[in-house]
Structure 1
């Protein structure tokens, strides 16, 4: 069954971590809905290839979400290529399983920088442009790990709880500017980020979920 197509005619959306996995699926959904998309990622070859699949409706720019200068450059690039920005999908993220007592401070900080601080910088960067355009939509990709306590997710879980809270704050603060902010909380989904933990797609291969299967992008 194919996903329902949402009408995004004439909308311009920036998708971080868009080279593969969920980000690439989001980018495809934007184009399928009639919109234009700027795919950003640190994976330059994969990102450029993904954007290339969508023809003139897509562009790619290298983008480290932890760097303010990269965020401003990505926004400037979006404006130069498509003239506006209507949506931001903060999808870029990282994860690695480790018991809290064995987690290093260095790795914990790295995960939080990418998963949470990157979302904060992105929201902060696009707000003025969305205000000037009369509104917009920010979708922050959190996780089921941002709704409950899951073992082996010290940095990841903490950052995704933070994304959930930051989204709520943004929704309240930006409503008057007609900027909607939402967080999305996927369960286990088969992507290049999660594949190394050994999950498999298909019925019955993930008994930890009620339907016994993982999601796909």
Structure 2
């Protein structure tokens, strides 16, 4: 089988209307890829694709829907002939500590972040194996290593996604597909703005946040280099990955990080002018 150059890849990106997904799509097009942008927000994703020119197209996709995945792959194949790379980026959160969230909030997080991604991977496995090549890139989170207060179900969905990803990669080790998982830290997207409004998510502000373009660079680089796993920041992320396996240490350290996040969040909040 001939090896395709980086410039010939067809990439399907989920959650591509805004944030990290939009940045991935923009950079992928800039590097010469053709991109099928998908998102649950049809108006926004069509507009985003339109701004990227003829190498981009759009399709509405609720990643929880198997039928939606079939339509998305068919749309990409109709426009571009195939899908070489799937970037599973779509995800959600509901802010609040566990006891304050409603059961539907917990279900939403798991159904989108975990089950929706699983549905997409299963759709890709069948089609990519049949065509004899493919690369599945799952955008996970540094929370897949760390049990963070204010993010219990979100962390659980990401812990589960990492386990699923690596299990599938091992199952498919003799097949024609490549697998990469990427773990962004706190990223300056609409989700971070949502977290800013809720002090229970203050730990998100304990460390430096990244621009979505920085995460997009790692994702688009991975199309060519095919790393097994990428953490952010490169050094501190490795330390966090190791520290996360020690729950007693986490119970001591993370409340300190949460307190630091509360202080930083307070400084970032807009404050009304004081009357003189």
TM-score scaled by length of structure 1: 0.88
Residue 3 of structure 1 is matched in structure 2 by: none
Counterpart pick for 1:96 among 94, 98, 115: 94
Residue 157 of structure 2 is matched in structure 1 by: 159
Distance 1:207 1:113, change over 3 A: closer
DSSP 3-state at the match of 2:191: coil
DSSP 3-state at the match of 1:38: strand
Contact 2:40 2:61 survives alignment (8 Å): yes
Tell me the distance in 2 between the aligned counterparts of 1:174 and 1:37. Answer: 25
Residue 127 of structure 1 is matched in structure 2 by: 125
What is the CA RMSD across the aligned residues, in angstroms?
1.5
CA drift at 1:126: 1.2
Contact 2:34 2:55 survives alignment (8 Å): yes
Deviations 1:85-126 (A, max 9, x none): 111011111012221222222211111000000110001001
Deviations 1:26-73 (A, max 9, x none): 111221221111000011221111111211101000110011110111
Unmatched segments (≥5 aa) in structure 2: 198-203, 213-276
Contact 2:186 2:205 survives alignment (8 Å): no
Tell me the distance in 2 between the aligned counterparts of 1:182 and 1:149. Answer: 22
Tell me the distance in 1 between the aligned counterparts of 2:25 and 2:130. Answer: 24
Tell me the distance in 1 between the aligned counterparts of 2:88 and 2:94. Answer: 19
CA drift at 1:207: 6.3
CA drift at 1:178: 2.3
Contact 2:95 2:194 survives alignment (8 Å): no
Residue 27 of structure 2 is matched in structure 1 by: 29
Distance 1:8 1:104, change over 3 A: same
DSSP 3-state at the match of 1:170: helix
CA drift at 1:198: 2.3
Contact 2:94 2:105 survives alignment (8 Å): no
Residue 52 of structure 2 is matched in structure 1 by: 54
DSSP 3-state at the match of 2:161: helix
Matched, 1:87 2:82: no
Counterpart pick for 2:136 among 138, 149, 155: 138
Counterpart pick for 1:169 among 167, 170, 173: 167
Residue 215 of structure 1 is matched in structure 2 by: 210
Residue 229 of structure 2 is matched in structure 1 by: none
Structure with a larger share of its residues in helix: 2
Higher CA-based Rg: 2
CA drift at 1:136: 1.2
